[in-house]
Amino acid sequence: MLKKMHNAKGFTLIELMIVIAIIGILAAIAIPMYRAQSCKAKLTEVTNAMSHIASAVGAYYNENGELPNSLGNAAAIQNTLGVNVDPTVLTRIGSVAWNRTGTAGADAGNITVTLASAASGALAGCPTTVTGQTIILSTQTNIAADDPIRWNWDSASTIQGTFLPRR
């Protein structure tokens, strides 16, 4: 004869399968969100460095009355503007350039960062809407004398808008 089990302890197979299914669903939601936040954190380092360069361009403008000439790489920006940003911050993630787009009296310009591909490792795990794209920080056109320089994240940036800082 079989004895009836009283006060059996433990979980049934169905209960364990339900818990595993819930954990799987949560992981399917959490992992992409984690990757997006991780990528945003990497890009924050780049946008902060771009802001330092923008401040240095503003200081140069205040001292010289015009924007600096175009500078093609992080080392030239550091040497000319005295930006205390480690050039490897930007060069390990991509390339950076300052482009003057006007002449004295009609000054304008932009800071352009071209992000590296995902294969470089610095942006590993970031979506293709980020890797290989550009981020552009532009001045207003025709900066008047004694006017502060206003900077905007340029709509010509090819990076997905959710990865740019809020205005």
Per-residue pLDDT of the chain (167 residues; tens, 9 = 90+): 556 666 667 888 999 999 999 999 999 999 888 888 888 887 888 888 888 888 888 888 888 878 888 888 878 888 888 876 666 666 667 788 888 887 665 678 888 888 877 666 667 777 777 777 888 888 877 676 667 788 888 777 778 777 777 65
- Domain range annotation of the chain: 15-163
What CATH number does the domain located at 15-163 have?
Answer: 3.30.700
C-alpha pair distances (Å), 119 with each of 93, 116, 123: 11, 8, 8
* Pairwise CA distance, residues 72 & 55, whole Å: 18
